Structure 1
Amino acid sequence: MTNEMTLHCNKFIQTFETVIKTPKKSKSDVFYTGVDLGTACIVLVVLGSDYQPVAGAYQYANVVRDGMVVDYVGAVDIVRELKEELEKKLGTTLVYAAASLPPGTDGLDGGAIKNVVQSAGFELTNVLDEPTAANQLLGLTDGAVVDIGGGTTGIAILENGKVVKVADEATGGTHLSLVIAGNYKFNFEQAEKYKRNVKHHDELLLVVKPVIQKISSIISNQVKGYKVNDIYLVGGTACLKGIETIIEKETGIKTIKPINPMFVTPIGIALSCTNQVM
């Protein structure tokens, strides 16, 4: 990723963070929504007809596990509530949406994520795997996009602008939280909240280092045999301060992460949305 691409990515994320707090009223005749049903957090990104951010919302939830919807009604309710909240703020109806899945889970999912988005009142226009979605914003031609989610780590390897491999393996933020819970005698919810506070990240990095090393070994195994000079970290778990340093040291590959990796994939999902229903 060139410096120019990094600046573009970070600027886009900053703009999105701004419109979460202050939605931008737009005269667009069409809006594109990205729905990211994460293990720990559900994020909605709304772009105008020019594919620039106009609004966004997110809510922490436990309705998805390892990319599988485990609370269908709960998932529909949250997406519908966020949709209605954004529609009220924008003074419009949000019609079109795109969604994503962890790589290789399309068959296992049984269409549940697609059905959640449709049941919440959207017309579904696209479904793609998470790391490929993230690259809609990153714009990489070569390298590996690593999406560290709640339950799994997804990887997309790109060569000459084409995705040549996608993979998804168990180990992600949930595993970090379990280690934190055991170390501090917290329950799981307490561990999750403790982990989200950046003030605790320096001390937590030592506690969860073995899990990050496991994630690093997953990355190393998946990129073996491919020419990968750079790793780009996205996903909520990548928000952990210093995680990129450990991964770079363990893999021996230059590792980069945007200013807020949690929003890269949902923004990429929105960028892949069209007004053509599937």
Structure 2
Amino acid sequence: MKRGLIVTKKMKNQQLLKRANQQLQQFAAIVNGDQPVRPVTAKETLRVGVDLGTSSIVMVVLDHANRVIYGNFAYDHAVRDGLVVNFMESVNILTRLKDQAEQVLGVPLTTACGAIPPGTGVGSEKIVTNVIESAGFDCRAIVDEPTAAAEFLRIQDGTVVDIGGGTTGISVFKQRKLVQVTDEPTGGFHMTLVLAGNHHWDMDTAEQAKRDRTQETEVFATVRPVVEKMAAITATTTQGQPQQPVIVVGGAINFDEFIATFSKTLGAPAYKPDFPQFVTPIGIAMYDKD
């Protein structure tokens, strides 16, 4: 076989991330805007994903070929450690997002899928289903968050670490099969908690500081131990030999030093897509099909 025809795993990983980043950049450019990526017709089959996160609720609309059409999000305090703690707030926010999307698209959105952290049980799945259906959707499926991320990333072999507001979810894939899935209660909320305690701030002040890029150096120095714990959880789960590639997603990882710190503690290289907070919602939407 000619050398030029040999595609190494590293090249495949780069190709996967390049494709994912193109779609993520496209989504980021139109999220919460007043125009979709392209006009849609009433006859089109649209797919909707709903990610009920600890700090925000994200809704994604795809077409039948899983191409991004539109998306929006709103900050919330309705979810804690991956579990809905304020049902009506979640319903009200999602209803507003649905109404906004339908106004922009000019067509009704009738079905949607949701996701939960791995291992949170039937009760959590039922609550997320009820939120989605109370907002006016027919809920077609509830999937594990890191598994949804892997669907979007087209992972055949690898480890997906989904760091959300309240939890670190880990899914390991071999030959397209999910061979291990786990979840631990450490996420962005715990970063905020450490930051608030260190500076004697209330939680809202700490959360705003965490999102402020001008304070990133100081903030990350404070929350670094939380990032190291996330990596240690991943190392323990994979017994120190994570299936490659290790791709980290979720809204809590948007720090310049996150991946370098995570990789050092993990003892293996990890990768971050562009706009990692949108990976899982897009993956969720891909399950909204017959």
TM-score (norm 2): 0.91
Partners of 1:110 and 1:244 in 2: how far apart? 31
Counterpart of 2:237 in 1: which secondary structure?
helix
Distance 1:129 1:201 in 2: 30
Which residue of 2 is the match for residue 122 of structure 1?
137
Specify the SS of the correspondent of 1:166. Answer: strand
Matches within 5 A, 1:214-253: 214-224=229-239, 228-253=243-268
Which of the numbers 190, 203, 207 marks the counterpart of 2:205? 190
Partner Cα separation in structure 2 for residue 47 and residue 70 of structure 1: 28
Which deviates more, 136-145 or 112-121?
136-145
Conserved? CA contact 2:235–2:241, under 8 Å: no
Kept after mapping to 2: 8 A contact 1:230/1:253: no
- Supply the AA of the counterpart residue of 1:79: L
Match of 2:179 among 164, 169, 177: 164
The residue identity in structure 2 corresponding to 1:114 is: T
Query: What is the aligned partner in structure 2 of residue 17 from structure 1?
Result: 28
Q: How does 1:166-181 map to 2 (within 5 A)?
A: 166-181=181-196
Gaps spanning 5+ residues in structure 2: where? 1-11
Q: 2:81 matched to 1:66?
A: yes
Summarize the alignment of residues 259-274 of structure 1 with structure 2, pairs less than 5 Å apart. Answer: 259-274=274-289
Instruction: Say which is worse superposed, 71-80 or 102-111, in terms of deviation.
Output: 102-111
Change (3 A) 1:47 1:229: closer
2:15 partner amino acid = E
Q: Specify whether residues 178 and 225 from structure 1 end up closer, same or farther in structure 2 by C-alpha distance, changes over 3 A only.
A: closer
The amino acid of 1:243's aligned partner reads: F
- Structure 2 CA distance for aligned equivalents of residues 40 and 242 of structure 1: 21
How far apart are the structure 2 equivalents of 1:226 and 1:216? 12
Matched residue, 2:9: none
Match of 1:111, SS? helix
Taking the TM superposition and a 5 Å limit, the aligned residue runs for 1:117-156 are 117-156=132-171
Distance 2:230 2:66 in 1: 33
In structure 1, distance between residues paired with 2:45 and 2:215 = 42
Task: Give the corresponding residue for 1:26.
Answer: 40
Larger Rg: 2
Residues 41 and 59 in structure 1, CA contact (< 8 A), matched pair in contact too: yes
| Equivalent position SS for 1:121 | coil
Q: How far off is 1:226 after superposition? A: 5.5
Structure 1, residues 128-180: CA drift from partner, whole Å, max 9, x if none?
10000001111111121000111110000111111100000011101100111
Q: Residue 227 and residue 37 in structure 1: after superposition, are their counterparts in 2 closer, same or farther (change >3 A)?
A: closer
Aligned to 1:100: 115
Contact preservation (8 Å) 2:116, 2:125:
no
AA paired with 1:84? Answer: D
- The range that moved more, 45-54 or 256-265, is 45-54
The 8 Å contact of residues 19 and 53 in structure 1, kept in 2 or not, is answered as: no
Instruction: Map Cα deviations across residues 244-266 of structure 1 (whole Å, 9 max, x no partner).
Output: 11110001111000011100000
Once the 2 structures are TM-superposed, how far is the Cα of residue 67 of structure 1 from its aligned partner? 1.6
Structure 1: runs of 5+ lacking an equivalent: none
Counterparts of 2:280 and 2:245, CA distance in 1: 18
Residues 73 and 162 (structure 1), Cα distance of their counterparts in 2 relative to 1, 3 Å cut:
same
- 5 Å-filtered alignment, 1:36-47, equals 36-47=51-62
Distance 1:225 1:68, change over 3 A: same
- Structure 2 vs 1, CA of residues 29 and 45 (structure 1 numbering), >3 Å: closer, same or farther? same
Letter in structure 1 aligned against 2:40: S
Cα distance change, pair 218–6 in 1 and its aligned pair in 2 (3 A): same
Question: Number of residues paired by the alignment?
Answer: 275
Q: RMSD value over aligned CA atoms? A: 1.4
Q: CA deviation at 1:229?
A: 3.0
